């Protein structure tokens, strides 16, 4: 554990006690509020750093429709990656995929339409899953112009 925040808090409390002795209880209260705000900020910063190391995987189909590319968009490594290609009854595993890394799986024949169900773990052992639609003819899920929230009937009508 990093001892700097703990030392900073002990020093802040000593300064607050000195402010109470010299300036009075109200000046010490202001100093205590500042020290507590600094403590909460440091705590949230550390928790955000821990939560930011989550791997995020998705699957895309290559342009020749013979390779499935598993990409890690997260900030942490993904370990024990298991991928199941749903209607084709194919499965494969990958040891680990580093942040901004890729894993390529070669298929025997071209894939026209499928769905990749991905299950992986982070370095702490937590389990995650994701499903990606794979299509050789249609747009994939990584369409940059696709709206995040469907507005104005952006879904095609049947």
Q: Are residues 77 and 120 located together in one domain of the fold? A: yes
pLDDT value, residue 37: 92
CA–CA separation, 152 and 145 (whole Å)? 15
Same domain, 28 and 62: no
**115: helix, strand or coil:** strand
Count: domains in the chain = 2
- Domain assignment of residue 102, yes or no: yes
- What pLDDT does 149 receive? 63
What pTM was computed for the model? 0.62
Could you tell me if 11 and 41 lie in one domain? yes
**What is the reported pLDDT for 99?**
87
Q: What is the model's pLDDT at position 139? A: 61
68-92 b/e with 16+ CB inside 10 Å = b? bebbbebebbbeebebebeebebee
Nearby residues of 80 by Cβ (< 8 Å), 6 or more positions away: 93, 95, 96, 120, 121
Range of the domain at 97: 57-135
Cα separations (Å) of 74 from 7, 102, 113, 123, 137?
32, 12, 26, 13, 28
Provide the pLDDT for residue 143: 60
Taking only the tens place, the pLDDT of each residue in 52-96 is 788 888 888 888 888 889 998 888 888 989 999 988 888 998 888
Q: Is residue 77 part of a domain?
A: yes
Q: What pLDDT, on the 0 to 100 scale, is given for residue 23?
A: 85
Q: What's the pLDDT score for residue 141?
A: 57
Q: Which residues of the chain have pLDDT under 50?
A: 154-158
Assess whether 121 and 99 both reside in one domain. Answer: yes
CATH number at residue 79: 2.60.40.2890
9 shares a domain with 24: yes
Q: What is the pLDDT of residue 123?
A: 84
**Does 151 map to a domain?**
no
């Amino acid at each position: 554990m990093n001892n700097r925040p703990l030392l900073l808090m002990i020093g802040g409390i000593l300064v607050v006690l000195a402010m109470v002795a010299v300036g009075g209880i109200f000046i010490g209260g202001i100093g205590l509020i500042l020290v507590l705000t600094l403590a909460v900020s440091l705590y949230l910063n550390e928790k955000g750093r821990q939560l930011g190391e989550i791997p995020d995987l998705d699957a895309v189909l290559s342009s020749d429709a013979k390779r499935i590319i598993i990409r890690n968009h997260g900030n942490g490594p993904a370990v024990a990656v298991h991928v199941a290609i749903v209607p084709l009854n194919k499965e494969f595993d990958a040891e680990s995929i580093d942040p901004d890394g890729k894993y390529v799986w070669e298929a025997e024949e071209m894939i026209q339409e499928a769905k990749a169900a991905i299950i992986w773990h982070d370095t702490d052992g937590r389990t995650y899953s994701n499903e990606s639609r794979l299509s050789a003819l249609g747009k994939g899920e990584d369409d940059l112009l696709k709206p995040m929230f469907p507005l104005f009937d952006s879904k095609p009508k049947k």
